[in-house]
Amino acid sequence: MKPTLKQWLQVAKNFIIELPLEILAFFVVPIVLLFLKESDDHLPGCFRWFEDADDYYDGQSAAINGDGGWRRDHFPPPKNRTYFARLCWLLRNRIGYFSVKYLGVKVLDVQPASVVTQGDVLITQNKGRKSGFCKVECRLKDGRERFCYYREIRYTGFLSGFYCRIYVGWKLMDIAGANSENWHEFIEDGDKKVLKTVWAFHPLKRVKQ
């Protein structure tokens, strides 16, 4: 089931709010990073909107220095604290702090019984091997409604090695398949506490077999 008009309007609202900040990040972040020390874990207070959410991995803040996967696969410590590594991280994860603080969905605010999942809950692991979708809807304790729509469309013909990926709404795929009985599995240590907004459209991603 595709998003409703109301849900598309929610996506449009987030897009209008976040796009100017995301564009601004490409100008602000490269300059601000010039003034940081290697030991710093955050951008200066007035620029924190442009860093990533403040999660910790192995006792280190990921705000400007990358999460565990980033450090493992791209910039092992101490290289993750260099100017170039921080720049790559912050431009890849633009305005994560802003998204979490002002627009994100706190998992503990979700009413477990309100979570409705349609489609393939494992579609994010598909990597384009076949077409499929998943839609997750929920209601927060204050009555607001949130949703996500994730879809992969496998091309045919000469583009058969590629697929289109669509992900809009909030990153509720992290709670896909949740309900009142299994809710404890989604709020364990290590699970995300806040789910960011998302409006991603990748028309030509390579299929991973």
String of DSSP letters for 9-71: HHHHHHHHHHHHHHHHHHHHHHHHGGG--TT--S--GGGGGGS----EETTEE-TTT--HHHH
Q: Do residues 92 and 102 lie in contact, with contact meaning Cβ atoms separated by under 8 Å? A: no
Are 40 and 10 in the same domain?
A: yes
Instruction: Clarify whether residues 123 and 87 are in a common domain.
Output: no
CB atoms within 10 A of CB 97: 21
In whole angstroms, what is the distance from residue 50 CA to residue 37 CA? 17
Q: Are residues 176 and 134 in the same domain?
A: yes
pTM: 0.86
For residues 129 and 106, the answer to whether their CB atoms sit within 8 Å is no
| Domain count within the chain | 2
In whole numbers, what is the pLDDT of the chain averaged over residues?
92
194, 143: one domain: yes
pLDDT at 56: 56
93 pLDDT more than 80: yes
Q: Are residues 180 and 136 in the same domain?
A: yes
The residue type of 60 is Q
Interatomic CA distance for residues 35 and 31, integer angstroms: 8
Judgement on whether residues 98 and 19 belong to the same structural domain of the protein: yes
User: Same domain, yes or no, for 129 and 157?
Assistant: yes
Q: 92 and 21 in one domain?
A: yes
Last residue of a domain, one of 103, 136, 167: 103
Domain final residue, candidates 81, 103, 125: 103
pLDDT of residue 58: 58
76 plus 169 within the same structural domain: no
For residues 120 and 144, state if they share a domain: yes
pLDDT for 107: 94
Among the candidates 74, 103, 132, a domain finishes at: 103
Q: Determine the straight-line distance between the first and last CA of the chain, rounded to whole angstroms.
A: 27
Q: Which domain holds residue 80?
A: 5-103
95 with 24, same domain: the answer is yes
Q: Which residues of 60-69 are buried (b: 16+ CB within 10 A; e: fewer)?
A: bbbbbbbbee
Are 123 and 150 in contact by the 8 Å Cβ rule? The answer is yes
